[in-house]
Structure 1
Amino acid sequence: MKVLLDLQYLNVATTGIKTYMVELAKATKDHPHPEIEWIFTHDPVKQAADSTFKSPSSKIQRLNYHLDYFRWKEFQLPDMVKKYKPDVLICPDFVSPAASLPCRRMTVLHDAFFWQMPQNYPRWWRKYFLNLIKKGLKENTEIITTTAYSKAALQEHLGEEHPIHVVYQSPKSLNASSDRGILERNKLEIRSYFFHLGTFDKRKNLPVLVHAFKAFLEKEGKDFKLVLAGGPGQSAQMNDFPIVDKLVSELGLQDKVILPGYVKDEEIVALYQHAFAYVFPSENEGFGIPVIEAMKFGVPVIHSDQAALIEISKGAGLVAKTGDVEDLAEKMILLSRDQALREDLIQKGLQQSKNFSPKKFIEAFQHLILNAAPGL
């Protein structure tokens, strides 16, 4: 059985899709199956390092990227299918070619945000991208998604024409050595800061977290800090970084809220290792990779009551009401006062995180590859 894995999008991916693609590619090599031959469209390391289209600074650069992406999906990728004659094509970035193909397709739709949250995307771009997605959902296509929550959301918007399978992914393999320099540069004390990692997309609810942290400080009077690591939102409409930055100043938290921007893997490891707790107040997630990452590091997690996060944490996280500043602050206070609760969450988190491994990730794909859905 030959499987062609499309890795072209790695040249611009910076968020959870990048982690998904990189970990899937690694898992195919680390956990091979005797009946499956994997073919990569690109070398994952080289493609991830390609900076040709990263951080475009002009409309022309963005247009050139979209033209390059369209050319790849609609012409070059179908040519590779003709060349290698795979039994299965996997596209892990929402879009499969519109052209007819002589093989099964597995298209990964990580979430239903494009349908659920139209206000967060430029209208023309959303219409264009949804058109690409729908044109690629044809023939022998199976949809792969990340949680039962995402599956239900996709079925609501796409119907049940194509089978939808849930495959729990593996979080990022953070095997780098720990760089504690980031703690020293930002005057962070061990177990004296709350941590959040990710882009400043509006759906992450980071202004809510900043307000909750302010309330925490006022009630507890402890010398804690809040670290919000990561880059700006993916578009002007989605980007909450300017709002968070302004809010931090307005609340007088410049010395308490740390905004280090993008951080290297070595710094991520250090930040996880020494955090008091990880806080994830997001209003909508398809999966929630950092929740599992934090649990693997033995860090207790506070997360919103969003359905996907409840699904993957399975009681191993402390749940706060989505968008409720007061409730989130209360959960942060509770965790700081109750050491027994903190230890219980750590142990539950370590156990729950074992359900999300590279081996289980690739085994789920192997099962689907070798066992076609009925009617395909």
Structure 2
Amino acid sequence: MKVLLDLQYLNVATTGIKTYMVELAKAARKYPHPEVQWIFTHEPEEQSNNEKFKQSQSKLQRLNYHMDYFRWKEFQLPDLVKKHGADVLICPDFVSPAASLSCRRLTVIHDAFFWQTPQNYPAWWRKYFISLIKKGLKEKTHIITTTAYSKRSLQEYLSKDWPISVIYQAPKGLKNAADPQFLNTLKLQASEYFIHIGTFDRRKNIPLLVQAFWGYLQRTNSNKKLVLAGGPGQSKQMNDFPKVQKLVEKLGLQEKVLVTGYLSDTEIKALYDKAFAYVFPSENEGFGIPILEAMGFGIPVIHSNQPALLEVAGEAGLPFQTGSLEDLTQKLILLDEDDKLRKSLIQKGSKRSEDFSAKKFIDGFYDIILNAKPTKK
């Protein structure tokens, strides 16, 4: 059976979708199936390194990218389906071609954010993108999503005609050696800093984390720091980066809160290796990859009690009430003062991370690829 994997979107992806696509491609190659022939539209590493549309700022650049994306989905990708005689097309970036195809489609819709939080997106872009998603849900389509929470959310907004299956993804494989000098560059000491890694999207609640960290410092006189790694939000509506910068300055935390920007894998691994804890205050997630990354490195995790994060963490994290400044502050203090709790979370987290392997990730796809369920035609 020929399976065509669409990797075009890697030329702009910078967030969890990039991790999803890269790890899916890696797993397909690492764990081949005798009945499946994988065909990649692009080499993952080469497409990830394509700089043509990355960091496009002008309206013309953004328009050029959307036109390129539309041409790919509606013309070039259907041509590749025909050229290779694909039996299955996997689109891991929400959108499948609107054109009629002879093959089955597995379309990955990671979350329901476009419907749940319309205020976070430009109105015209959101309308356009949702229309692309819906037009691609046709013929023999099977929707894949990341958690049971995302499945329930999508069922509220999409037609019941399409089956939705949950496949837990694998976290990023940080196999390269950690940068031994990176912590020195940031003047960080082992186990003396909390971390958060991700974009400054509004839903991530990073200002809440900064405020809670300030409260933690006031009540404990701790010397610990907070490291915020990642880039700005993906749109003006979503971007909390300026707000965080102003808040850090207002609270006088310039020496305590380090905003690093995007980091290399070796730098991220160095941060994970020596962190005291990972803090994930997000108000809405479809999955929550950093939880598993942190647990895999033996780092305890504090996270909001948002449904997807509770689902992924199991009982191996330390949850706080989503959006509660006081509860998050208390959890930072608790983890700092209770060494027994911290050790317990590390042990539980290490075991929990084993449930999200690359093998289980790709096996979920093989199960659907090789055991087709009846869908709308």
Which shows bigger deviation, 114-123 or 174-183?
A: 174-183
1:96 maps to which residue?
A: 96
SS in 1 for 2:42: coil
Determine the C-alpha separation between the residues in 2 that align with 1:70 and 1:34: 34
**Alpha-carbon separation, structure 1, partners of 2:70 and 2:206:** 33
| 1-structure distance, mates of 2:210, 2:229 | 13
Equivalent in the alignment of 1:68:
68
Distance 1:325 1:214 in 2: 11
Aligned to 2:117: 117
Report the equivalent of 2:295. Answer: 295
1:335 partner SS: helix
Note the C-alpha offset of 1:182.
Answer: 2.2
In structure 1, distance between residues paired with 2:249 and 2:179: 28
Say if 2:300 and 2:342, in contact at 8 Å, map to a contact too.
yes
Identity across aligned pairs (percent)?
Answer: 66
Whole-Å Cα distance in 2 between the matches of residues 36 and 252 of structure 1? 57
Q: Which amino acid aligns with 2:227?
A: V
Matched, 1:199 2:199: yes
What's 2:284 paired with? Answer: 284
Distance 1:143 1:278 in 2: 31
What does the per-residue CA deviation read over 1:193-247, in whole Å, with 9 as the maximum and x for residues that have no partner? 0000000000000000000000000000010100000000001110000000000
The 5 A counterparts of 1:131-210 are 131-210=131-210
Instruction: State the SS of the aligned residue for 1:195.
Output: strand
Amino acid at match of 1:168: Y
Give, in whole Å, the separation in 2 of the partners of 1:324 and 1:181: 36
Structure 1 residue identity aligned to 2:162: H
Partner-residue secondary structure (3-state), 1:90 = strand
Counterpart of 2:374? 374
* Cα deviation digits, residues 50-104 of structure 1 (max 9, x gap): 0000000211110000000000000000011111111100000000000000010
Task: Report how many aligned residue pairs link the two structures.
Answer: 376
Displacement of 1:124: 0.4
Contact 2:151 2:166 in 1 (8 A): yes
Q: Paired residue for 2:315?
A: 315
State the shift of 1:373 in Å.
Answer: 1.4
* Cα RMSD (Å): 0.7
1:109-160 alpha-carbon deviations (Å, 9 max, x no partner): 0000000010000000000000000000001000000000000000001031
Paired letter, 2:318: L
* In structure 1, C-alpha distance between the alignment counterparts of 2:208 and 2:24, rounded to whole Å: 33
Question: Is 2:345 the counterpart of 1:349?
Answer: no
- Which 10-residue stretch deviates more, 104-113 or 181-190? 181-190
Residue 179 of structure 1 aligns with an amino acid whose one-letter code is D
Match of 1:251 in 2: 251
Counterpart mapping for 1:205-284 below 5 A: 205-284=205-284
CA distance in 1, matches of 2:196, 2:182: 15
CA deviations 1:253-280 (Å, max 9, x no partner) are 0000000100110010010010000000
Q: Distance in 1 between matches of 2:81 and 2:188?
A: 51
Q: Cα distance, 1:181 vs. partner?
A: 2.1
TM-score by length of 2: 0.99
Residue ranges of structure 1 left out of the alignment (5+ in a row) = none
> Structure 2: how far apart are the matches of 1:169 and 1:40?
19
- Which amino acid counterpart does residue 301 of structure 1 have in structure 2? V
2:87 corresponds to which residue?
87
Any conservation in 1 of the 2:163–2:375 contact (CA below 8 Å)? no
Q: Give the CA deviation at 1:43.
A: 1.0
* Amino acid aligned to 2:122: P
Q: Give the whole-Å Cα distance in 2 for the aligned partners of 1:217 and 1:359.
A: 42
SS at the partner of 1:211? helix
Q: What's 1:27 paired with?
A: 27
Q: Which stretches in structure 2 are left out of the alignment for 5+ residues?
A: none
Letter in 2 for 1:210: V
Q: CA deviation at 1:374?
A: 2.9
Q: Which amino acid aligns with 2:253?
A: L
Does residue 6 of the first structure (1) align with residue 6 of the second (2)?
A: yes
What residue identity is the alignment partner of 1:193? Answer: Y
Shift of 1:187: 1.1
TM-superposed deviation, 1:4: 0.3
Taking the aligned partners of 1:166 and 1:373, their CA distance within structure 2 comes to: 14
Question: How far apart in 1 are the matches of 2:192 and 2:184?
Answer: 13
Distance in 2, matches of 1:266 and 1:25, equals 21
- Match of 1:205, as an amino acid? N
Deviation at 1:375, TM superposition (A): 4.0
> Aligned with 2:243: secondary structure?
helix
1:3 aligned counterpart, secondary structure? strand
Instruction: Verify the 8 A CA contact 2:203 2:284 in the aligned structure 1.
Output: yes
Alignment partners' CA distance in 1, 2:180 and 2:328: 28
Q: Deviations over 1:19-52 (max 9, x none)?
A: 0000000101100000000000111111111000
Say which SS state the counterpart of residue 143 (structure 2) adopts: strand
Q: Distance in 2 between matches of 1:180 and 1:109?
A: 38
In structure 2, the partner of 1:53 is: 53
